Amino acid sequence: MGYVLFGDAGSGSGPVEMALAEIGAAVELQEVPLTKDAQLAAEYRKLNPMGRIPTLVLPDGTVVTESAAILVTLADRHPEAGLLPPGSDSARAVALRWMALVAGEFYPHVTRYDYPERFSADPSHAPAIADRAREMAREVWRLVDRECAPSPFVLGDRFSVADIYLAALSRWNEGARWMPAECPRVEALARAVAGRPRIAPVWARHVRP
């Protein structure tokens, strides 16, 4: 048995698929359509109790949830792909720092603008919650552009799984529309990742032009 990835087009399974493509590892894709709320089905929640995608099942049957954890796991399991520096290298800490920031500070805003009705008992609050979440999400990217300042990658010339993660998630919330002007470094990072030969076909399936 190889890897099994539960996900959907345009979701957090995109960067996981991109990392697997970069590694050259075989994967079986299992569709969990968000439009049908398939992620909330009781059977799927046995794998991912939060009711979220992605979920990766390792060849030995171990279940890994949380996109950043999945990507670090893949990088560590395939050191020959060079997707993360070793633990003793400070560059690894830098890569993990920015991955964790995007996972912890940006991704929750996505839930808030995709599902604003979850965050108030009053349905009339939903549009304001979504609008504020979209703005706060953009603030995170402005900070990443300024403080992480990828050039072209998070670790300078050294490509890593952090680049895949940041690039893929930067396309959400209409990133392609406003980032070229407001976050030019993140925009250039996204283009550099999208153009990698192994990633390009996966990128095309997950990122709307």
Ligand X SMILES: N[C@@H](CCC(=O)N[C@@H](CS)C(=O)NCC(=O)O)C(=O)O
Footprint of ligand X (CB under 6 A)? 11-12, 34, 39-40, 51-54, 66-68, 103, 107, 111, 115
- Of 150, 147, 137, which is closest to residue 178 (Cα–Cα)? 137
DSSP string, 57-83: E-TTS-EEESHHHHHHHHHHH-GGG--
Query: Which residues, in sequence order, are bridge partners of residue 166?
Result: none
Residue 14 Cβ vs ligand X, minimum distance, rounded to whole Å = 8
Shortest distance, position 144 Cβ to ligand X, whole Å: 16
Q: Which CB sits closer to ligand X, 71 or 188?
A: 71
Least CB distance from residue 48 to ligand X, whole Å? 8
Is the separation of the CB atoms in 201 and 5 below 8 Å? no
| Least separation in angstroms between CB 66 and ligand X | 5
Total Cβ atoms within 10 A of residue 54: 24
| Nearer Cβ to ligand X (39/160) | 39
Q: How far apart are CA 59 and CA 189, in angstroms?
A: 31
Q: Which is nearer to ligand X, 103 or 202 (CB)?
A: 103
Minimum CB–partner distance for residue 9 and ligand X (Å): 10
Q: Which is nearer to ligand X, 72 or 188 (CB)?
A: 72
SS3 128: helix
Cα(first)–Cα(last) distance of the chain, in Å? 34
CB nearer to ligand X: give 100 or 152: 100
